[in-house]
Amino acid sequence: MKKLLALSLILLGTAVLSACNGVDEDLEDVREARDSLMLTRTDDIQSDLWVPSQGRNDTNISWESDNPDIVEVTDDTEAGEVRLAVTQPDEGEGDVWVNLTATISKGEASVERSFDIRVVEYTGLEDLYDTIAELHDLDGGTELAVEGIVTNITNHNSFFIEDETGGIGVYDPPQDYIGDLSIGDRIEIAGVRDGFEGLRQIGFVETLNILESGVDLPDLVDMNDIDLEDESAMDPYQGQRASLTGMTVVDLPDMSVDGQFNIALEREDGKQIDMRYDGRLSDSEDLFAALEELETGDTIDLTGPTVGWYQGPQFLLGSEEHFEITD
């Protein structure tokens, strides 16, 4: 009995020692990860930040802000990073210093590291153009800023803004902004002049501020007398919402709620144009259900789809309200 007891005590002591060694190793790993953790931006902050959620030695990093009204830790993550949503102080309120605390952990071990960052007060966007029409002829890559009203959201990472002079698409592939927008938001946006297959866009969005919501939308463009197949005639209306009556459905593709497809329409004069659906659009089920009611030969009126472009003009649907079966 004594020998068995002694053996048990030896084994227990070995297990405790092994556990302690494991904790010590994890503690060494998190300390090394803490010492290597750096932020590339700590001063003159004007837009959202992406900070690491994973560190050296397979450590995890969580973040806490002492002023969430200015810098909020979000649930948005991608590729080992988490987004810090930055709200600049209003003009005249002055810059605000915010303390960020990073907790680096592995197993039972954890350590902290703090960073002070300065969020500068908002003083307006630079390179602000007076009208959207001025953006149309800019060279690709030109930095710009402009105000406009959100008039259509056409898929999961693209939307359109307009003013009284014209419209333009906005490409937001990280989806940093599109989820917070609503039709009728008046925004100011900074990015670069971009484009895709002939569609004029603002890309590489750096800043987007919602100035007010519930704004009246610009008037629809009446396209009944415009040559739908003449690219030079259609091009000036890119990015604007259109109205068109008496269009006949001449071709229906195989449709799926999460798919992407074009429906061919024809006017009485024989001119044709496609109407495009994108199933990646948030809350697209009602739109898809309305499209399922279409049959070849139906006559429809269009009220509010955006004039888009993919190697030529097309109408981009964002809502079931953008068309109505009339016959």
Tell whether the model's pLDDT for residue 166 goes beyond 80.
Answer: yes
Full 3-state SS string of the chain: CHHHHHHHHHHHHHHHHHHHHHHHHHHHHHHHHHHHCCCCCCCCECCCEEEECEEHHHEEEEEEECCCCCEEEEEEEECCEEEEEECCCCCCCCCEEEEEEEEEEECCEEEEEEEEEEECCCCCCCCECCCCHHHCCCCCCCEEEEEEEEEEEEECCEEEEEECCEEEEEECCCCCCHHHCCCCCEEEEEEEEEEECCEEEEEEEEEEEEEECCCCCCCCEECCCCCCCCHHHHHHHCCCEEEEEEEEEEECCCCCCCCEEEEEEECCCCCEEEEEEECCCCCCHHHHHHHHCCCCCCEEEEEEEEEEECCCEEEECCCHHHEEECC
Query: Residue 3: left (phi > 0), alpha (psi -120 to 50), or beta?
Result: alpha
Question: Residues 228, 321: one domain?
Answer: yes
Residue 254 belongs to some domain of the structure: yes
| CA contacts within 13 A on the Cβ side of 220 | 14
Residue 124 belongs to some domain of the structure: no
Tell whether the model's pLDDT for residue 236 goes beyond 50.
Answer: yes
Q: What is the reported pLDDT for 8?
A: 37
Question: Residues 150, 193: one domain?
Answer: yes
What average pLDDT does the segment 117-140 reach?
90
Question: Residues 232, 290: one domain?
Answer: yes
Question: Residues 95, 165: one domain?
Answer: no
What average pLDDT does the segment 117-136 reach?
89
Tell me the C-alpha distance between 198 and 188, whole Å. Answer: 24
Q: What is the band of 47 on the pLDDT scale with cuts at 50, 70, 90?
A: confident
Question: Residues 208, 302: one domain?
Answer: no
Q: Collect all residues with Cβ–Cβ distance below 8 Å to 2 and sequence separation of at least 6.
A: none
Question: Residues 204, 293: one domain?
Answer: no
Question: Residues 173, 233: one domain?
Answer: no
* Share of residues in the chain with pLDDT > 90 (%): 78
The number of folded domains in the chain is 3
Tell me the C-alpha distance between 32 and 25, whole Å. Answer: 11
Question: Residues 275, 302: one domain?
Answer: yes
Question: Residues 32, 115: one domain?
Answer: yes
Q: What is the reported pLDDT for 175?
A: 87
Q: What is the reported pLDDT for 17?
A: 40
Residue 125 belongs to some domain of the structure: no
Q: Please check whether residue 20 is in contact with residue 27, taking contact to mean a CB–CB distance below 8 angstroms.
A: no
What average pLDDT does the segment 244-256 reach?
95
Q: What is the reported pLDDT for 20?
A: 52
Residue 279 belongs to some domain of the structure: yes
pLDDT (tens digit per residue) in 259-310: 999 999 999 999 999 999 999 887 789 999 999 999 999 999 999 999 999 9
Chosen domain end from 183, 212, 241: 212
What average pLDDT does the segment 188-197 reach?
95
pTM equals 0.67
Domain with residue 89: its CATH number is 2.60.40
Residue 318 belongs to some domain of the structure: yes
Tell whether the model's pLDDT for residue 107 goes beyond 50.
Answer: yes
Question: Residues 106, 148: one domain?
Answer: no
Tell whether the model's pLDDT for residue 125 goes beyond 90.
Answer: no
Residue 126 belongs to some domain of the structure: no
Q: What is the reported pLDDT for 50?
A: 92
Residue 10 belongs to some domain of the structure: no
Domain with residue 275: its CATH number is 2.40.50.140
Chosen domain end from 119, 150, 181: 119
Q: What is the reported pLDDT for 46?
A: 84
pLDDT (tens digit per residue) in 51-106: 999 999 999 999 999 999 999 999 988 889 999 999 999 888 999 999 999 999 99
Q: What is the reported pLDDT for 161?
A: 98
Residue 94 belongs to some domain of the structure: yes
Question: Residues 286, 192: one domain?
Answer: no
Q: What is the band of 18 on the pLDDT scale with cuts at 50, 70, 90?
A: very low
Domain that residue 55 falls in: 25-119
Domain with residue 184: its CATH number is 2.40.50.200
Chosen domain end from 62, 88, 119: 119
Tell me the C-alpha distance between 192 and 142, whole Å. Answer: 5
Question: Residues 207, 250: one domain?
Answer: no
